[in-house]
């Protein structure tokens, strides 16, 4: 990919992981990959859903939940953002919920000073059942109910970024509710089963219909708990073209968000202005 860019462009990175039940190990991997992305020029990095813990059982995340604004996971993420002088969209971490046996599955965004500047609690909770697989997030996760976005000002350029998580991707009304954005950021842990059939087509649809970039950060591999995730972290442009993709394994992708590209797509096909409902 061509990394030549204008001052009005935003260099981004998406981190892909194969997280384990070891919180400390996952944070070390995240830190190492974010540092590498920062050295590559990234001004904003995104971690995947459940990056800090892919437990042996679903209730493991309840044991490490934190209160909003304080706790060892949040402290370490703040330090990583500050150390690498970038915005960090910190995948999801488990925060205290109203029910003692559940958590909120929450994206927190840290600025380059290590301050928390945005938060989104996952609204749509995944449920899936076949003879071989069963997932029921509502058993351990309390749903959020407020759409959220992130406003950045970098080099006197304003960026509006939509926040959503994994299963949210199947609900286009959430993306419409977020309004016009430059990029939708989607940390995820799509299963291999659903990912192979739906992941790419859903991501590209969200980019095309909202005429914006879509940056996804995924879990990608077979985990110690035997869960298999689809991977394929990718950056998609407002025309629906995949700019860069990491099929599986841990690593990162980088790319550029261009205001010029956004303007070009929206001026030649002003679909957002043609909306009726």
Q: What is the residue range of 86's domain? A: 10-270
Indicate which residue of 11, 61, 122, 261 is catalytic.
122
Q: Which of 11, 49, 183, 250 is catalytic?
A: 49
In a domain, 1, yes or no: no
Asked if residue 32 belongs to a domain, the reply is: yes
pLDDT digits (tens, 9 = 90+) for 85-140: 999 999 999 999 999 999 999 999 999 999 999 999 999 999 998 888 888 999 99
DSSP result, 119-148: EEE--S--EEE-SS-EEEGGGTB------E
How many domains does the chain fold into? 1
Per the listing, tokens 């800090």 go with 52
**What tokens appear for 243 in the block?**
């700019």
pLDDT value of residue 225 = 94
Helix (H), strand (E) at residue 120: strand 116-121
* 158 tagged catalytic: no
Catalytic residue chosen out of the listed positions 166, 183, 212, 250:
166
Residue 68 is assigned to a structural domain of this protein: yes
| Res. 189 pLDDT band, cuts 50 70 90 | very high
Q: Closest by alpha carbon to 202, among 219, 221, 220, 184?
A: 184
Domain assignment present for 277: no
Could you tell me if residue 3 is inside a domain?
Answer: no
49 is catalytic: yes
Segment 59-75 mean pLDDT: 96
Active site residue 142: no
* 241's tokens: 């073209």
State the CATH number of the domain containing residue 162.
3.60.110.10
Helix/strand/coil for 160: strand
Which alpha helices (DSSP H) does the chain contain, by range? 23-39, 60-63, 72-84, 172-177, 192-194, 200-210, 259-268
Does residue 276 sit within a domain? no
Is 4 a member of any domain?
A: no
In a domain, 69, yes or no: yes
Are the CB atoms for 242 and 235 separated by under 8 Å? Answer: yes
């Amino acid at each position: 990919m061509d990394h030549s860019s204008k001052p009005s462009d935003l260099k981004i990175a998406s981190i892909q992981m194969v997280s384990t039940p070891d919180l400390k190990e996952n944070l070390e991997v995240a830190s190492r990959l974010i540092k590498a992305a920062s050295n590559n020029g990234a001004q904003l990095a995104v971690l995947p859903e459940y990056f800090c813990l892919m437990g042996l059982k679903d209730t493991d995340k309840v044991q490490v939940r934190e209160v909003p604004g304080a706790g060892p996971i949040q402290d370490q993420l703040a330090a990583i953002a500050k150390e690498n002088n970038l915005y960090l969209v910190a995948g999801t971490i488990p925060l205290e919920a109203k029910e003692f046996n559940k958590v909120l599955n929450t994206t927190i965004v840290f600025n380059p000073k290590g301050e928390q500047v945005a938060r989104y609690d996952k609204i749509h909770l995944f449920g899936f059942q076949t003879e071989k697989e069963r997932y029921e997030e509502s058993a351990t996760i309390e749903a959020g109910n407020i759409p959220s976005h992130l406003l950045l000002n970098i080099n006197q350029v304003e960026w509006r970024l939509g926040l959503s998580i994994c299963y949210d991707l199947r609900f286009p009304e959430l993306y419409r509710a977020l309004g016009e954005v430059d990029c939708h950021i989607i940390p995820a842990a799509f299963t291999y089963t659903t990912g192979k059939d739906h992941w790419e087509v859903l991501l590209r649809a969200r980019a095309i219909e909202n005429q914006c970039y879509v940056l996804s950060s995924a879990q990608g591999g077979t985990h110690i708990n035997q869960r298999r995730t689809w991977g394929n972290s990718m950056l998609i442009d407002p025309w629906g073209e995949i700019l860069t993709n990491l099929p599986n394994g841990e690593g990162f992708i980088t790319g550029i968000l261009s205001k010029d590209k956004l303007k070009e797509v929206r001026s030649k096909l002003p679909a957002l202005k043609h909306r009726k409902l």
